[in-house]
Structure formats: structure tokens, C-alpha cells
Structure 1
């Protein structure tokens, strides 16, 4: 095949080369082309979008130069700084608003929070762990917050575990209490062995319960009016209640119609009245020999009747929920009380009690609605701070004003108590009690809602700077609690001997007015005991089991806590030993138990403080208080035994610390050539800073350390951990009931 001639090259080689056309530049491609990374042009719409049906837009942010980008970044940085500054300012204003709470405020704002997770909660970082314990019959654990006595006793247990080198299990620190034997204050052990009760069985049990005669009911109703009505919550109209009660009886006078409100009032009267009787006389009235669940058949029938009112509650329904919560608290069923209080909160909002009553409503009705609402607020505050759980009520702008206490309101209340003078009436106690809880609640909320600069896993007691900062932050709130005492009418205060001041913790004895009505004397004592109890609880977190510097505000707060607990013990002992003012008052016993365990922790944490000897004496005095209460209900007698044993453990640790100090001083003296006599002379017993000895042998008994084993120490602490839920002696000796009789499940 002949080769192809050169001049027969392809046409593409023969055609002249054309210059490559330069692509037109566009400042920015359209969004459709940019998304597909293809070329775009300056037409609108561009050629690609027109040919392929694309959406030719340029809505994206305009591209900027590098200097402009830097300027944008700087502007954003300044904006972030401004927002952070505004946030800090708002937080400071919020803290100032809380700290500026006035005790004389006429309309504190409280209502149910609209959301569990508020903006303030989202900003919080500090988590207070609390403690998980099995305090009920169920095997499930229950959480108690950092302000609860359970949490503080957990810290005591950890301290003792380190000192005795033996772990104290939280699960083993709970006694065999009523709440662990019974599902509730409804059925006895013989009926409560099975949880599967049919509705018919429950109704039959309620119908065949132990009920009183008309005369007996009248007796316990009178006890209620002179006790809980005047010295706790005046939420009932006495005249209307008595008229309603009379209308329930049949013509024969042998039976009456069912009434949930009457039943719960009778139950409270029985619980209080039976607790005032000696133990031997209680056996004639109370089954199971326990005053804390006296009236439980009436309580059970009340709950059965309330089940029909849940969909359409009335004011009487709410009053029943409130009084049921009080009954459960006194009976040591704390979790049931918490749940019942939550039902009361919902019922109150269904009834619109969180709103200011209209002026068109008669003043008598307006005032009773206000008293019920603020009683619920006080009860919610009491339970929340006692158990360390979130409040059910929070700040709002729709809260009614505080109830009145003037003479006109007292005359419209339905009760016929004479005025007290000094512009005070029997309702003034309720008003002052509400203000006290508002002040204490403000301090509690400020303390536990504050964000703390802690590392992961750290607590406030691990960083003394944080602890001291918290003390400085809480100082204004503590001062406002003291200012509250200045607004209490003189007719509601108890005078002191030797020139002492009411509500002071200087140790002066009470000068109880001899010819004052019993209900007025009780109002005065309870108001003062509640003041010391709330102060001790608020200041108790400053008791640190970790060594801290001396002469600090945090240490001063711990000392104040001990002084309030000592004052409460002295007042309770004097009132019980010389009067009948607090006889059968279950809450007074719980306050005393709270103070006794607080002082136990204080003495362990501060063995050389100026208030240790006085605290140690107050612990011994609390044994006498429990002995007096023990004449009426068994839980107090068991508390006395536990505190006696804890005193022995405290003195054992103090003596061991003194012995170690003695050995250390002896070694130092032996290394010196000449030892002054003042250095080598040691007392036979350890001394406190004020020169008094640690050890006592009066109420605590003779100290015997030979038979003191680690097991016995642990057993005692186990029993101590949940004493406010006891109702018999079976926690001390399982299987043995009151009077030494064997209990058979």
C-alpha cells in the first residue's frame, strides 16, 4: 500500500488554528450552579438554569473581602461580650431581688411553676447529690436532698467510717419502723401481709374499723380546735364546721352520715390526744399500741371518700388534703405526706386559690381562701426543706395577699377567741409563721440554687474558698431571719429570765406566763421553736467534717447552727418538764430529734470549739426530752436509747483523740532537756477551749469501753438513721414489740 502523500493530511491540520475564547467571569455563580459546581454566566437566568429548568437565585450571603471578614468577626465578638455582660447583670439583679426580700412584704409571689426546667434551672451547673435510702416498706430507694437530716447523717456515717475504719452501709442504717412494716397508716400487720387487696376487701375493712362513740368524737374534736386549729393552720371555719357536724347525725343520734372533712379532723384529734396519754392507757384506745397511727380508721375512710371528689374538688376537698398531709407527717410517713401535699397543690389551682379573691366575695370567704392558700405554701416549704426536695410552688405574679389578723378578721373567722392586745389576735400567729417561712425559704433557695465554681465530683466541703464564699453570700439572709423577730408582736413572745431577749440563743430560761390560755402559750413556744429549727437547718451545711481554718465566717455559721440547736433543746426540755404545752406534740419531738443529731455531727466535726462542751451537754439533755416524750409514744423512748449510745461513741472518739494528743505531747517533752511543769501537767480528762471537760456520766451513764465493739457502734448508727419514722421498739430488737411481747407478722 502506497504511503499517503504529505499534502493529504486531515482537514483539522490543514485548517488554521483559532485563538481560544476567554471565558467570561462572573462575580458570583447562582445558587443552582454553585450547588452542582458547574460554570455559570452573567445572564439572568443563566444559560444552565434556562436550559435545565433550574431556579436561578443568588440569595446566599454576599461574599466579602478578608478585611471585611475580620471586621465582621470582631463585631460578632463584641456582640458576644455584650450579651455575656447583660447575662451577668441579669443574674446579679436576680440575686439582688432575692436578697432584697422584705420580711414585711404584703404580697410574696408564689405559684406553681409552669415548667420544671426553667431558664434559671438550665443555667445551673451545681448538682447537690443528696442520698438514696430505703426508708419505706418497699425495697426501692428514695432520694433525700442535701438539706435533709438523712443527708447530714450520711455525712456523719462517712466520718465514722473513716475514724473506725469500717464501712457503714446506707442500706443497713434504717430501723424496722412503722413505715417499713405497713404500706401506710391504714391496716395493721395482720391485714397488711399481702399487697393484693380487692376493692371490696378494702371497703369491708374500712366499714369494720374501730370507730368512736358520739361523745368520744366530740372530745377529740375539741382537742383539735385548741391545738392544731390555733397553733398550726387555721384553715377551717369553726362555726360552719360545727354546724355541718351537727347536720350529719340522724334523729336517733347513734350514727352520722359520712364526711371526709369530719373524719380527718377526728383522726388528727385522736393522734394528738392519744399521744398525751401514758402508754398503758393508750392500749385501751389504740390498736397495735402506737399513738402515731391513732385515728387511722378515720383517715382511711376520709381517703375513700376523697376518691369521689378528685374530678370536682371543693374547698373542703383541699382542706382534707392539707390535714391529711399533717396526719401523715406526724405519723412519720414522709413520702406519702409529700405526695398528698402535691395533690393539695393541684386542687388549690383547680379552685383558683392562687389568684386574689374578687372584691365581690364576702370578706369572710376571701380570708379563709387566703389562709388555706398560705397554709399550703408554708406546708410546701416545710416539706421541701425537711426532705431536701424541690418546692411545688414557685414565684409568680398571681399570688394573693397575705391573710389579715386584725380584730375584724378574727371576729369573722368563726372562732371566739378574745383579742390579745397590741393589735394582735389569735390569727397573728398564723401571719407571723407564714412570714417566717417566707424568710427561711428565701435563704434556702438562695443557698441551694446558687451556681458554685466546683470541679466535677467536688462538693462544697472539698473547697474551703467555696464554703467561705457561700457563708458570705448567705449572711444577709441570716440577718433577715433575725430581723423577723423584731416584727413579732410582744404578745406572741415568751419573756426570759435574767434579762434575756425572746428568740435569743443565749441560754436564758423561759418565763412562762402562768395565767395565759394554753393555746396562746403553745403559739408562743412553737413560734420560737420553729425559728430555731429553721435556723439550724439552714446553717447546718456549714458543719464541715473536713478540717477548716478557724475564725472564719463559715465556722461562725456552724457555731450559730449549734447555738440554735442548743436553744431549741433547752426550751423543749423546760416546756416539757414544767408544763403540758408540748405534751403529745409530734412535731416538737421531730424538731428535738433533728437538733440532737445536728449537735452530734457538730461535736464530731468540732471537738475543740468553744461551743463543744455546751453542745455535748445539750445532747445529754435531749435524752431527758426523749424520756419525757417516751411516756406517750414508743418512738421517743427508742430515740433516747439511741442518743445514749451515740453519746458513748462521741466520748470514745474524744477520749481517743485526747490520748493521741497526750502521747504526742509526751514524746515532744522527752526530746527536750528541760521541760517546764506547765507543759507536762495534763488533766485527767480532755478539756475544751473553755476549760470544761468533754466526758459526762450523768444522763449518758457510766462509760464502759471494754465491751465497745465496731459491730455495736455500727448497729447504733443503723438505728439512729431514721428515728423520725419509728413508731415502736421493734427497730431496737426485731421481733419484740412494746412491753417485750413477741411480734408475729
Structure 2
């Protein structure tokens, strides 16, 4: 008889690092691996596994793959009941390491805050960079119109995802023309068209301007509450002399009117608003007013002031709507400089009125909101950091909401400014996860001496598992969103779920609240795509076919399906909202949410053509085309180009 092989010694409890990286561990504390590398050695529960999806996810995904049901797997990230306590301890340990690194670089002790404080005060990755340190980079792309300088787009950006998709179409599908068309039309960062002779436009009458301003209070003012309504009305009335046909100049009124013109395309097309708008490219309605505002801000000596800060913030929003994100980022930097000069990032003096103190806080957190959005969309370093602020970030007292004559003060316990607080909490949490994920990618690449997270399957799994654990923190936000701000579903469907369930619109709720419900959920699904979309891996000579089988085999596969589910949820929400309401008819961000989700679904179908989920994905693209056509009919011409491109890629 052959001699029995000696029994291999197996550690009773592997440490978190060895288990995550699938390397041999021992019973020492710290273990040999952590001791030789000078790392903290933490041991969780012996039965936990962090290198694969939680047990609850397997039957959900497998059932969907086998039966292609009408409801997709719920991806509301409600995973706290299925993840072992040790997984949470692993995440906490990692966060503690990063916080310790930050404390060495920043001796300022910050006040307690109910908002997450992302470790973003050092750099975009949240950790001090060393020369030669591995870092996962995006790519450089020359913008249109012959610009010589190239722009950089990081890994979370749509442009980087489209770049990877384009390389796949060109290299593996041999469709270079389609790849070129995709990368030109798909970008959400467009160079503005050449300026025409806008200054010859006839000035508006007071009635025309007031018709436009009536749109502002129900739209942008309820999303970015950065001014006092009564103060603006008083300021506007003072611009008109009793016998004058035109008003006095005002940069603040100019940029607000430009936003209203940009928003009003559908209303003007239907005849609801009687204003003659000069011919312009889609998204650049009101260009003459925008240009006049910028010229005044740049050419005249304007001291830092609250109106100047408001102008820069509204200019940022205008440029985001026009899909000119790089220019928006530059405008936001100017806004941040003014805010710092005014000390907006600090708790206001006690002798300041309560309304003014509230305005200061809303201004700063609106900057943080836009900065988080732009940083994630472009994959670039953040400009506004929570570590620079000493503001109280706790939820404001509902009774302290700014007075609005246009929006009802309360509805079922929330006021018109409640969305502002919840959106910031969501973005702060997503931003924290994105910073930690970026640091984890760099750490894994350094450990494996690789230049991409896709070059090593074990490395990719480690990163995928880390993300899966990190997004658990979103569940607290989901649980705490007030019921009146939740977008209700029919047939007991859950809000903030990727399940394909019809929306139950509450037509009795105020218009501002109806729109806020839709926008908050779209923001949730879109920001999760930024994180999960990384794991849609396109086939290559190195990794072979990426087609999924009847079951989800790895955590990276699960994350890719999550990206698909959140993208399909976005498409379904936008489509139903456009067909049953007019809440998003002229909302440029709705087009951007829809187009970004459509490209995520297209990318998934191209990467995994044989996956069981791909059939449902193709069906959802048909819905996306219908929604894009609706937006095009409402004056957003870029949506028509996007619809045609989607038809070609879904053929």
C-alpha cells in the first residue's frame, strides 16, 4: 500500500489579509505574512468568506438566469443581513488604516458630523502618494474642434468605460468606424460650440422674464437651494424702473434666466411659455445670457461675495446641463475659491441671523454636491473636501427651512429643502466608497506588480470583494430616507431597488416633491453604476471569453450584473416618468442619466453576448431608444443622436 501523505497543517483561523488574498496563513498573531510585511493582522470569524458573493445572492441571480423573470435581482445593496460580522470588521480595519494615514498628514481635529467624512483631504485616492507608487490610471483624449491639449478621464468616468468599449469594438469586433462614432457621440464632456453673434438678441420684456423665472422656483431652486427667494424677488423688482422697457444689468439674474431658458425647451415648444429663444445648439439655450454673466465675472473687478458665489454655482449647473463637464469643473474651482475667501466652509458667526447661517451651510454643501458629481463623472481629483469644513453637517431642523412663497413649506413631514440634505448624504457615502476602492485598486496592483486591475483574476476578485463589502454602508442611507422622499412602487415593490417594478406616481404631492423623488432615485442608481461598471470586463486575448454561464461564478461577475441591473432600473424609471408625467421633459440631467445607463447596458451586451441576462438587456435597450426619442422630441437634440447610435449597437 502506498504511504499516506502527511497531513498539511491548516490554520484554525486565517487572518483577513491572507484569506482575502488566498495565501497560506498560520496560527501566530500576527501571522508570518503580515509580520514580514509590517501589516496589521486582524482575524475575523473562521467561517466567513470574502472572496465570493454572499449566500443570499446566489439563488437570486441563478433564478433570474434560469427563468428570466420580470423582476430582476434586487440590487438595493441591502446586504447587511447576509454579510458576516467579520466582513464588516475587515472593512472597518481598512478604514482605520486610511484614517491613521490621514491623521499623520492633517493635524486639524474636525468636529463630529452626521455626514460621512471621506478620506479625501490628501489626494484623489485618499492616501499619501509615494514616487513610483502603482496607480490605476484612466486615459487621455483630445476633445473635439481641434483642441491641442488632451483631457484626462479617470477609471470611474463614462469616457473611460466607452474608451474600453471602443477598443473592444475595434480590436475584437473589427468595427473601427462604429468605435469612432461611439467615442465621439457618447462622451458627456463636450466642448461648447463656437460663439455666435449672441449680443444682437432682443432683450426680453419683463413679462417674458417673469414667465421664465416662474420655472426656476419649481425646478433648480428646489434642487440647489442656494439663495433666499424673497431677497432675489426684491433684487429683481429693483432692477426695473417704472417707465423702463428694459431692466438694469444683473449677473445673478442673467445666469438664472440662462438656466431657465435651458430648462424651458419643452415648455416653449408646447406654447406654455411664450419666449423667443435665439437659435442654438441643444443644451446651450440662453448662451448669450450665460456669456454676458461670465464676461462680467471675468472682466470686471468683482470682490468675493455671496452673489458672485451663487453665479459660479449656477454657471456650473448650466455647464453640466450642456454636457460640458470639464468647463463645469473649472467654474466649480472658481466657486470654491470665492467660498474659501468668504469662509463659507466654516460655521458662521453666532451674531449672524439664522436664515443667513442656513444659507451659508446650503452654499457649502451644494459645492460639495457638485464637486462629488463632477469628480465621479470625470474620474478626476475632488476640489471641495469635507476635511476643510467645520460646518455642522447634521440634518437641519425642518422648521428652519428657508421660506419659499413658491413651494409649500411641508408635505407629510418633509419640506422642499429635504432633498438637498439626502442627496449630499448619498454622495458623501458613494464618494467615500469610491476613494477606498481607488486605494484598494492601487494597493492590489502594487502587490501584484501590475499596471491594470484586469491583468490578474485573483487581484480583480480581491478588489470586487472589497467593493461588495464597502457598499454595505449605503444601507444606512437607504433606511433613513424619509418615506415622503421615496419613489413608491406598485405591487409592494421596494424603493431604491433595481427590481423591474412599476412606479406609483403620487399626483397629489407637490410638483417639486414628485420631481425630487425621481431625481433622488436616479442619482442613487447612477452613482452605483460608477462603482460597479468597473467590473464589466471586455474579452481579450489574455482573459478569453467573458460569457457568463447559467450561474454567477465570481464576485466580479456579480458586480458586473449589479451594474447592469442599476442601469436597467435607470432606463425603466426615466421611460415611465417621461411617458406618464412631464417631470423630466426638459431635464437635461435626465438625458445624461439615461444615456449613461444605456451605454452601461450596451457595454454589458458587447462584453457578454452569451450571458442569460443579455436578452433582457437587449429588451431594455429598446425601451431606452423610446425614452431617448421622447427627450429628442422635447428639444434635447443630443438624445436623437444617442437613439440612432443605440439602434446600431443593439441591432
TM bucket (normalised to shorter chain) is 0.7 to 0.9
Partner of 2:156: 147
Counterpart-to-counterpart distance in 1, 2:119 and 2:233 = 32
Structure 1: state its 5+ residue gaps.
1-80, 192-204, 649-745
Partner of 1:351: 342
Partner of 1:187: 195
Q: How many residues align?
A: 545
Secondary structure in 2 matching 1:143? strand
Partner of 1:542: 535
Would the alpha carbon gap of residues 210 and 478 (structure 1) be closer, same or farther in structure 2, given more than 3 Å must change? farther
Counterpart-to-counterpart distance in 2, 1:331 and 1:235 = 20
Would the alpha carbon gap of residues 107 and 628 (structure 1) be closer, same or farther in structure 2, given more than 3 Å must change? closer
Q: Please, which moves more after superposition, 630-639 or 412-421? A: 412-421
Deviation at 1:146, TM superposition (A): 1.3
Deviation at 1:315, TM superposition (A): 0.9
Secondary structure in 2 matching 1:122? coil
Counterpart-to-counterpart distance in 1, 2:449 and 2:642 = 38
Would the alpha carbon gap of residues 177 and 503 (structure 1) be closer, same or farther in structure 2, given more than 3 Å must change? closer
Alignment equivalent of 1:570, drawn from 566, 569, 572? 572
Alignment equivalent of 2:284, drawn from 286, 293, 297? 293
Does the CA contact (< 8 Å) of 1:226 and 1:519 recur in 2? yes
Alignment equivalent of 1:611, drawn from 585, 610, 613? 613
Secondary structure in 2 matching 1:132? strand
Would the alpha carbon gap of residues 265 and 397 (structure 1) be closer, same or farther in structure 2, given more than 3 Å must change? closer
Would the alpha carbon gap of residues 360 and 256 (structure 1) be closer, same or farther in structure 2, given more than 3 Å must change? same
Does the CA contact (< 8 Å) of 2:460 and 2:556 recur in 1? yes
Partner of 1:437: 427
Q: 1:305-454 maps to which residues of 2 (within 5 A)?
A: 305-307=296-298, 312-396=303-387, 398-402=389-393, 404-412=395-403, 416-422=407-413, 424-450=414-440, 451-454=442-445
Partner of 1:132: 140
The C-alpha deviation readout for 1:503-536, integer Å capped at 9, x for no partner, is 1111010000122221110010111111111111
Counterpart-to-counterpart distance in 1, 2:125 and 2:495 = 42
Does the CA contact (< 8 Å) of 1:485 and 1:503 recur in 2? yes
Partner of 1:645: 648
Does the CA contact (< 8 Å) of 1:237 and 1:414 recur in 2? no
Q: Please, which moves more after superposition, 542-551 or 150-159? A: 542-551
Partner of 1:518: 511
The C-alpha deviation readout for 1:560-607, integer Å capped at 9, x for no partner, is 111111111111100000110111000000010000000011112222
Structure with more relative contact order (C-alpha pairs < 8 Å, separation 6 or more) = 2
Deviation at 1:288, TM superposition (A): 2.7
Deviation at 1:413, TM superposition (A): 6.4
Q: 1:195-344 maps to which residues of 2 (within 5 A)?
A: 206=199, 208-230=200-222, 232-278=223-269, 285-307=276-298, 312-344=303-335
Counterpart-to-counterpart distance in 1, 2:120 and 2:307 = 21
Would the alpha carbon gap of residues 564 and 115 (structure 1) be closer, same or farther in structure 2, given more than 3 Å must change? closer
Deviation at 1:238, TM superposition (A): 0.5
The C-alpha deviation readout for 1:183-224, integer Å capped at 9, x for no partner, is 746722xx5xxxxxxxxxxxxx64x33431111110111101
Does the CA contact (< 8 Å) of 1:532 and 1:565 recur in 2? yes
The C-alpha deviation readout for 1:116-175, integer Å capped at 9, x for no partner, is 999612278232231222224233222211111111111111212232346569877554
Deviation at 1:619, TM superposition (A): 1.0
Does the CA contact (< 8 Å) of 1:186 and 1:297 recur in 2? no
Alignment equivalent of 1:463, drawn from 456, 463, 472? 456
Deviation at 1:483, TM superposition (A): 3.0
Would the alpha carbon gap of residues 558 and 310 (structure 1) be closer, same or farther in structure 2, given more than 3 Å must change? farther
Counterpart-to-counterpart distance in 1, 2:97 and 2:354 = 35
1:555 pairs with 2:574: no
Does the CA contact (< 8 Å) of 2:122 and 2:128 recur in 1? no
Q: Please, which moves more after superposition, 110-119 or 481-490? A: 110-119
1:161 pairs with 2:188: no
Would the alpha carbon gap of residues 173 and 420 (structure 1) be closer, same or farther in structure 2, given more than 3 Å must change? closer
The C-alpha deviation readout for 1:393-449, integer Å capped at 9, x for no partner, is 235264312265433212556765231223x21111111011010011011111112
Counterpart-to-counterpart distance in 2, 1:500 and 1:365 = 41
Secondary structure in 2 matching 1:567? helix
Counterpart-to-counterpart distance in 2, 1:374 and 1:643 = 36
Counterpart-to-counterpart distance in 1, 2:344 and 2:559 = 38
Would the alpha carbon gap of residues 92 and 431 (structure 1) be closer, same or farther in structure 2, given more than 3 Å must change? closer
Would the alpha carbon gap of residues 457 and 392 (structure 1) be closer, same or farther in structure 2, given more than 3 Å must change? same
Alignment equivalent of 2:638, drawn from 626, 635, 638? 635
Would the alpha carbon gap of residues 358 and 162 (structure 1) be closer, same or farther in structure 2, given more than 3 Å must change? same
Q: Please, which moves more after superposition, 410-419 or 566-575? A: 410-419
Does the CA contact (< 8 Å) of 1:248 and 1:258 recur in 2? yes
Does the CA contact (< 8 Å) of 1:109 and 1:397 recur in 2? no
Partner of 1:730: none
Does the CA contact (< 8 Å) of 1:282 and 1:291 recur in 2? no
Structure 2: state its 5+ residue gaps.
1-33, 43-92, 103-111, 540-544
Would the alpha carbon gap of residues 243 and 536 (structure 1) be closer, same or farther in structure 2, given more than 3 Å must change? same
Secondary structure in 1 matching 2:224? coil
Q: Please, which moves more after superposition, 241-250 or 454-463? A: 454-463
Counterpart-to-counterpart distance in 1, 2:624 and 2:101 = 36
Would the alpha carbon gap of residues 154 and 94 (structure 1) be closer, same or farther in structure 2, given more than 3 Å must change? same
The C-alpha deviation readout for 1:354-389, integer Å capped at 9, x for no partner, is 111122221111110000000000100100100111
Counterpart-to-counterpart distance in 2, 1:97 and 1:479 = 22
Partner of 1:506: 499
Counterpart-to-counterpart distance in 1, 2:556 and 2:625 = 29
Partner of 1:591: 593
Would the alpha carbon gap of residues 542 and 107 (structure 1) be closer, same or farther in structure 2, given more than 3 Å must change? closer
Partner of 1:63: none
Does the CA contact (< 8 Å) of 1:503 and 1:531 recur in 2? yes
Partner of 1:38: none
Does the CA contact (< 8 Å) of 1:539 and 1:561 recur in 2? yes
Would the alpha carbon gap of residues 212 and 340 (structure 1) be closer, same or farther in structure 2, given more than 3 Å must change? same
Counterpart-to-counterpart distance in 2, 1:246 and 1:537 = 44
The C-alpha deviation readout for 1:62-89, integer Å capped at 9, x for no partner, is xxxxxxxxxxxxxxxxxxx999737899
Does the CA contact (< 8 Å) of 2:162 and 2:183 recur in 1? no
Counterpart-to-counterpart distance in 2, 1:370 and 1:411 = 12
Secondary structure in 1 matching 2:210? helix
Q: 1:19-168 maps to which residues of 2 (within 5 A)?
A: 85=38, 93-95=96-98, 105-109=113-117, 113=121, 120-122=128-130, 125-140=133-148, 141-165=150-174, 167=176
Secondary structure in 2 matching 1:292? coil
